[in-house]
Structure 1
Amino acid sequence: MSYLFWLRDEPHRVRLAGVLAEMLSLPADAVDVGTTEDEDRNWEAAVLCTVTAIGGDLRLHLDVYVADEVPGQPSPEAAAAWLAERLETVVAYQALPIPPDAFWIVGPDGERTRARIDDEPDENDVSRYRIDAVEHPVAAMPGPAVAAVPEVIRHYRLPTPLAEGLRSRLDPPPATGSAAWHAVTHLAVWEGMVARLLAGWHPDGWYPPEFYREDLETRDRLVDASATLPDAVRVEFEEVLATVDKRFAEVTEDDGGRALASATGPVPDRWWWHRVTRPLPWHSMPGR
């Protein structure tokens, strides 16, 4: 397994090797810590940790490789928490490959929060990492602004079996960008939003009002969408849409659109614009 971590501090290599060895229940000499320029590295070690000095809010990057035969390899989340506690520092690791600035940060106390971290090279081509925002305060690093990191939510996609089943039965498949393609794609977006709602606003238990509004705008586009589809699937499309609408209606209540209008501005007079969950999707949104 490989791990990538970013540390606020620069622990001594001997200390770092000892902490990694302890984490994996290995002797200290089973861990090699060095830079890419070091010539005396033990490339046969069970654990290879390549360190790179960086700048900004984070000072050291770790690229850790653990041989497959090493048992009990922890998850990245558990490994980051271990390093943070044992090294008494703040550790960051990527939440998802995309977006590239989406990270988790964990402090020595084990508390974890999402963070937006930007990086760019300085005049010496050294990467400088700036923590743009954290969703919850980090006791060991009080400087960064506390704000929501909503852009990561859309990258956690939920299954949309009804829409995808319909898409698979379109023969021939609609051309990308065609009216029929848009109809099924918008149906999948709507089904995905309702699935996220039913999952308790996956992944973090909240949903921005702007995203909620965008999804209702997608529902608007479905009003006359069935007319763009072949006769063979038009009825099925309308049945799938009715099923998703029913799921949405069953777990929301009619507030006349007041909550969303208060958060984002006036709303259209269509029934789905008048419905919202309780508590509101954005009631626990960080920074509000």
Structure 2
Amino acid sequence: MTYNFFTVDRLQPPLLSNALASCINVEPSTVDVADVDGDQDDRNWDAHVLCDYTHVFGNVSLTLDIFVQDAVPNQPNEADAAKKFAAAAQTVVLYPAAEQIPSAYWLVTPTGLLTRARLVATDDERPTYSIDAVEAAIPQLPGVRVMQLPEIVRERRVPTPVTADFTRAVDALRRSQHGSVNAALIDEPGTPLNHSRNYLAEWERMVRIMASNWQPTGRYPIELYCDALRARDFLAHLSAKLPQPVDDLLQKAVDQLDARFRSHTQLDDTWAIEAGTSDSSATMENPGWWWHRKPLILPWDGN
């Protein structure tokens, strides 16, 4: 098992050894800790736990690359190890999240508070790390802004059955052409059909999250909400670029989602201005009706 941690505090090797021994349930004497930039000759390569640490600059002080031998029983997963290590070392620990986003991390405090964090690094040979934002206030990081991270929400997998039905219906229509090729039915990047499917999926994702009362967190970034409204704009403009049978299928799908959107919103022309976003029906030319409505539950309050 391997673990990759950042710590906010600059911990000394004896504390690292004891904390690792505690969270992995081995004897401190079987833990080998060494500075990557230091002398490696005296290392115990047969230790149960090998930990390489590096001093770094910024909001974090150390990176820890930890390897646990297969012979060690009951090894915790990375999340549990980070939580136990944070408590044992009395420091804030960051470890990588599953999303394929370089800045996406989990952060855990000594008391067990767990939240998402955005960790960014400069391009210097010895980079400086900054904890740019967190999704919950961290007492040890009073100057770090608290906000929901849009890139994490964007990566959430949300079922889009209406979009799937639309895609299947278009596929059936394409197969019915009996070998003839209709350019309007080509679903490749940049084509009207491809745009229609992608914008429909974006609209559906937001509508379904809204219908769930913004689960699982009860919050939703306003910039992603406005992105979905712009996707709805594009759907309205794509109609003229699609053949009638495809347009009919698209409108059927959009109508289903629009009905759900209406049931979870109310008329309001000022919500965007009050929320401080640059998007507003007052600044647009002929905005769609969807820009004149706001969610019954505002998910960006307090973000």
> What is the TM-score when the length of structure 1 is the normalising length?
0.82
Q: Give 1:85-164 correspondences, 5 Å limit.
A: 85-120=87-122, 125-164=125-164
Is the Cα–Cα contact under 8 Å of residues 117 and 132 in structure 2 kept in the other structure? yes
Question: Are the structure 2 counterparts of residues 43 and 96 from structure 1 closer, same or farther at C-alpha, using a change threshold of 3 Å?
Answer: same
Matched to 1:64, the amino acid is I
Give yes or no for the alignment of 1:262 onto 2:280.
no
Question: Are the structure 2 counterparts of residues 24 and 167 from structure 1 closer, same or farther at C-alpha, using a change threshold of 3 Å?
Answer: same
**Aligned equivalents of 2:262, 2:57: Cα separation in 1:** 51
What is the total number of aligned residue pairs between the two structures? Answer: 282
RMSD: 2.9
Is the Cα–Cα contact under 8 Å of residues 269 and 292 in structure 2 kept in the other structure? yes
**Aligned equivalents of 1:13, 1:67: Cα separation in 2:** 20
Matched to 1:77, the amino acid is A
Q: CA deviation at 1:78?
A: 2.8
For structure 2, the residue ranges without an aligned partner over 5 or more in a row are 175-184
Corresponding residue number in structure 2 for 1:278: 296
**Aligned equivalents of 1:68, 1:34: Cα separation in 2:** 20
Q: Give 1:1-288 correspondences, 5 Å limit.
A: 1-36=1-36, 38-67=40-69, 70-120=72-122, 125-167=125-167, 169-170=170-171, 171=174, 173-202=186-215, 204-229=217-242, 233-250=246-263, 252-263=264-275, 264=277, 265-267=279-281, 270-285=288-303
Q: CA deviation at 1:254?
A: 1.5
Matched to 2:271, the amino acid is A
> What is the TM-score when the length of structure 2 is the normalising length?
0.79
Deviations 1:173-208 (A, max 9, x none): 512101111111111111111222234435643122
Is the Cα–Cα contact under 8 Å of residues 6 and 61 in structure 1 kept in the other structure? yes
Deviations 1:232-251 (A, max 9, x none): 6544333322222233233x
Is the Cα–Cα contact under 8 Å of residues 108 and 140 in structure 1 kept in the other structure? no
Q: CA deviation at 1:67?
A: 4.3
Q: CA deviation at 1:69?
A: 5.7
**Aligned equivalents of 1:115, 1:105: Cα separation in 2:** 6
Rg larger in 1 or in 2?
2
**Aligned equivalents of 1:234, 1:219: Cα separation in 2:** 14
Matched to 1:225, the amino acid is L
Is the Cα–Cα contact under 8 Å of residues 54 and 60 in structure 1 kept in the other structure? yes
Q: CA deviation at 1:79?
A: 2.4
Is the Cα–Cα contact under 8 Å of residues 213 and 297 in structure 2 kept in the other structure? no
**Aligned equivalents of 2:60, 2:79: Cα separation in 1:** 18
Question: Are the structure 2 counterparts of residues 147 and 234 from structure 1 closer, same or farther at C-alpha, using a change threshold of 3 Å?
Answer: closer
Question: Are the structure 2 counterparts of residues 42 and 229 from structure 1 closer, same or farther at C-alpha, using a change threshold of 3 Å?
Answer: farther
Matched to 2:51, the amino acid is C
